Chains A and B, each alone.
Chain A
Amino acid sequence: AQSVTQLDSQVPVFEEAPVELRCNYSSSVSVYLFWYVQYPNQGLQLLLKYLSGSTLVKGINGFEAEFNKSQTSFHLRKPSVHISDTAEYFCAVSEWGAQKLVFGQGTRLTINP
């Protein structure tokens, strides 16, 4: 069965600094990968997804992620963060043909002025 590990539970960064949120997955078959963002007191919103093809995927709000099959990783990056990026971020995986997502534990991103 697949699993997802988000390596950092909390990431504090200064405004306008770059950030990387790390995600590793485990699966014996091909997968779809997703990043979601949850702003305070809201539901989860899809940031970006990898289905196939180009390993670099771009999402909303200036975020991007790179799929690395050999390292089974799907790290999320942003070159310059803003206060408004303060949120919790979830990585998720589903196996091809499966209809259920498995979520990581989440990473809380805090932006300091």
Chain B
Amino acid sequence: EIVLTQSPTTMAASPGDKVTLTCRASSSVKYMYWFQQKSGTSPRLWIYDTSKLASGVPNRFSGSGSGTSYSLTISSLETEDTAAYYCQQGRTYPPTFGGGTKLELK
């Protein structure tokens, strides 16, 4: 089973800040997927195939990475971006998720 480790677990940032969340895999996964989950709602696909934005995702978000190291970056944080973000790999079974990063406003 591929283990995904996200860091940091919790992060506080101010509006306008550049924010980077990371996800490291225990083995190479080729592609990474990210989900945004706001409090009390279902997870929503946010970034797919490492760097492609899902429908409706603002272009201040970007994804990058390869091999075992991936990141999600917000170029200029907005208040609506506060949420939990989870990475997920689907290269091998079982599909696995990272533990999540909770992004809060400072």
Chains A and B bind each other? no
A-to-B contact residues, CB < 8 Å: none
